[in-house]
Amino acid sequence: MSSKPELEDTLREHIIAQPDVILEDQDLMRALVAANERAMGDNIVDLRGIAMKRLEARLDRLEDTHRSVIAAAYENLAGTNQVHRAVLRMLDPVEFEAFLMDLGGEVAGILRVDMIRLVLETVQDESDPAVKKLGDVLTVAEPGFIETYLDTGRNTPVRPVTLRQTHEGDMRIYGRGAEFVRSEACLMLDFGDGRLPGMLALGSEDPHQFTPQQGTDLLAFFAGVFERAMRRWLS
């Protein structure tokens, strides 16, 4: 006697015992539906099959959305960890000079930006030796410079965090590296009553790193921590 019927019986029993194996296999279900349509012929419209295809398309869209949501959640978590690490590094130095040098070095590396610049509005002369000693990280500007820089002639209120793409950066802020800046994040800084404002400029060579459509909560948090650290040095 051939062993084929025995094999078919075994398979049949396995399917009856575990029908979910077939129902959860999309490729197998498609093959069964296609075989059923061929058996019915061309003159019959299978409304149930059409409905199944629509439900399948909806399921595919839901799965794509689910994957996108998970990817966004992981990206947000990675961004949060990144900012937290940068904040901890920023709080390590015990001297102001080291604090600023770390800002343009280790902190910029953790945040994965090409450069960070601190802009302070002041009436102090930029040629002051104390300013020059801090290198490219610190830029001093006349009162009102920051608002003008962020406003760009639109006469709109300046936001705490501005994300934008640029053709190139501003030489007054980024110096010789300005020509490579393709996007930037500008964080407004409030140092308290009686003090002129400041700004942190995060410049990137990637035009898509900072765009107006992105969220700003993490950068606002980073700016808030930086403000408080600077108030300690300015007091």
Domain contains 115: yes
Domain contains 34: no
pLDDT score recorded for residue 221? 94
Domain contains 66: no
H, E, C per residue of 22-90: HHCCHHHHHHHHHHHHHHHCCCCCCHHHHHHHHHHHHHHHHHHHHHHHHHHHHHHHHHHHHHHHHHHHH
- Alpha-carbon distances, residue 196 vs 53, 113, 138, 193 (angstroms): 64, 26, 15, 8
CA–CA gap between residue 137 and residue 139 (Å, rounded):
7
The domain tally of the chain equals 1
Classify residue 117 as exposed, middle or buried by CB count within 10 Å of its CB (0-12, 13-18, 19+): buried
CA–CA gap between residue 227 and residue 221 (Å, rounded):
10
> Are the C-beta atoms of residues 210 and 201 closer than 8 Å to each other?
no
User: In terms of residue numbers, what domain contains 122?
Assistant: 94-234
Residue 131 contacts by C-beta under 8 Å, 6 or more apart in sequence?
124, 125, 138, 140
pLDDT score recorded for residue 135? 64
pLDDT score recorded for residue 50? 67
**Please, what are the averages of pLDDT over each run of 10 residues along the chain (235 residues)?**
57 76 73 68 61 75 77 72 90 86 90 92 65 72 90 74 92 90 94 89 94 89 92 79
Q: Is the overall model pTM greater than 0.85, yes or no?
A: no
Domain contains 123: yes
Domain contains 201: yes
CA–CA gap between residue 125 and residue 221 (Å, rounded):
31
Any idea which residue has 């393709």 for tokens?
182
Classify residue 194 as exposed, middle or buried by CB count within 10 Å of its CB (0-12, 13-18, 19+): exposed
In Å, the largest CA–CA distance within the chain is 104
pLDDT score recorded for residue 1? 45
Domain contains 164: yes
We report the CATH number of the domain holding residue 164 as 3.30.450.40
Domain contains 228: yes
pLDDT score recorded for residue 86? 92
Q: How far apart are the first and last CA of the chain?
A: 98
pLDDT score recorded for residue 131? 55
CA–CA gap between residue 184 and residue 162 (Å, rounded):
8
Domain contains 7: no
**Bridge partners of residue 139, in order along the sequence:** 119
In the chain, alpha helices (H): 4-17, 20-23, 26-40, 47-90, 96-102, 108-111, 129-132, 145-151, 171-174, 217-234
* 193 secondary structure, DSSP code: T
> Are the C-beta atoms of residues 12 and 22 closer than 8 Å to each other?
no
